[in-house]
């Protein structure tokens, strides 16, 4: 029987506002494990990784706030994701802010190195998350995880697993971009990642964009790690997120993306992050997140 390991990461140290630490609980209230099991998976809930709360720790670096503590959380997640994948399980990480992806992608990358198989990363987000301590305006680390994965950023996150970068830029695609500051635009343009904005999706359609992206990053039968920020979806559909931006993916566009991921049969790990129940309505964002997880794991319409 196919297996899925679920890890909750109640991390909000990387965010600018509180609340996403309750994201894993919101997913469990939405019965994420039981719903995955209906697809025929054996589901193992590994519980939550312990995370300190900001009120009891001091900020040591205003350019990368709480980077040390975030690095410790990501180290724990790195080990869990690595071990899940090496056991042949799909690793699902529930957040929590997007800085957790520095740990989850490190776990996927280490597992694939041991399997001698390339890794591709599909990043769905309204934001590029490619700031560094040098470029950041806010100092919030949840705006840095993709930069860390590509080898730039706080060393506590860049050095996870003992190697860097975790994935080559050409094996990374970012889909759904619509809110970048000027300095970050330059970082994205010169990074080598395949970047798709909402304008690209509007003009070409989701299927064309995602199929092209997977084709570009997936050569050599690369395994696929998907990191899905719920703010990639339009806030009219996904209101309970840390940094909502109008003009995002529609309900069906988000599902189609995940259905195409399932069709690729390459998924080894999935993050669904930035669910903030404080800003949500009747847990609708976590419920949508559960539905998107099911689509990525193979739930079909017919």
**What are 251-261's pLDDT values in tens digits?**
999 999 999 99
pLDDT for 236 = 97
**Which of the residues 234, 274, 280, 291 is marked catalytic?**
274
pLDDT tens, 92-124? 999 999 999 999 999 999 999 999 999 999 999
Q: Whole-model pTM?
A: 0.97
Q: Which of the four CATH numbers 3.30.9.10, 1.20.58.100, 3.40.190.10, 3.40.800.10 does domain 3-296 have?
A: 3.40.800.10
Active site residue 274: yes
Which residue shows structure tokens 């800003």?
279
How far apart are the C-alpha atoms of 76 and 102, rounded to whole Å? 11
> Any idea where the domains of the chain sit in the sequence?
3-296
Which residue in 229, 234, 253, 271 is the catalytic one? 229
Look up 212 and say whether it is catalytic. Answer: no
CA 257 to chain centre: 14
Of 97, 125, 234, 259, which residue is the catalytic one?
125
Q: Examine the residue annotation and report whether 127 is marked as an active-site residue of this protein.
A: yes
CA distance 191 to 183: 12
Per-residue pLDDT for 140 more than 80?
yes
C-alpha dist (Å) from residue 4 to 59, 149, 241, 262, 293: 36, 24, 25, 14, 11
Per residue in 172-196, pLDDT (tens digit) is: 999 999 999 888 899 999 999 999 9
User: Could you confirm whether 142 is annotated as catalytic?
Assistant: yes
Q: Which of 21, 48, 69, 142 is catalytic?
A: 142
Is-catalytic flag, 168?
no
């Amino acid at each position: 029987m196919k297996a899925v390991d679920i890890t909750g990461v109640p991390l909000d140290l990387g965010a600018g506002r509180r609340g996403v630490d309750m994201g894993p609980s919101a997913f469990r209230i939405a019965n994420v494990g039981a719903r995955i099991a209906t697809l025929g998976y054996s589901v193992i809930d590994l519980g939550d990784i312990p995370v300190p709360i900001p009120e009891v720790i001091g900020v040591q670096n205003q350019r990368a706030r709480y980077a040390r503590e975030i690095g410790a959380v990501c180290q724990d997640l790195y080990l869990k994701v690595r071990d899940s994948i090496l056991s042949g399980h799909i690793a699902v990480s529930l957040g929590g802010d997007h800085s957790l992806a520095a740990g989850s992608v490190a776990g996927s990358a280490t597992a694939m190195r041991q399997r001698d198989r390339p890794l591709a990363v599909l990043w769905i987000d309204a934001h590029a998350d490619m700031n560094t301590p040098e470029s950041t305006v806010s100092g919030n680390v949840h705006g840095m995880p993709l930069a860390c994965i590509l080898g730039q950023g706080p060393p506590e996150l860049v050095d996870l697993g003992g190697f860097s970068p975790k994935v080559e830029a050409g094996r990374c695609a970012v889909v759904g971009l619509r809110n970048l500051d000027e300095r970050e635009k330059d970082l994205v343009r010169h990074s080598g990642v395949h970047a798709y904005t909402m304008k690209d999706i509007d003009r070409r359609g989701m299927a064309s964009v995602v199929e092209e992206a997977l084709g570009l990053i997936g050569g050599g039968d690369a395994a696929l790690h998907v990191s899905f920020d719920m703010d990639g979806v339009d806030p009219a559909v996904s209101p309970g997120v840390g940094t909502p931006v109008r003009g995002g993916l529609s309900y069906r566009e988000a599902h189609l993306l995940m259905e195409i991921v399932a069709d690729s049969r390459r998924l080894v790990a999935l993050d669904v992050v930035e669910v903030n129940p404080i800003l949500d309505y009747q847990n609708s964002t976590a419920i949508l997140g559960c539905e998107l997880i099911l689509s990525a794991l193979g739930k079909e319409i017919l």
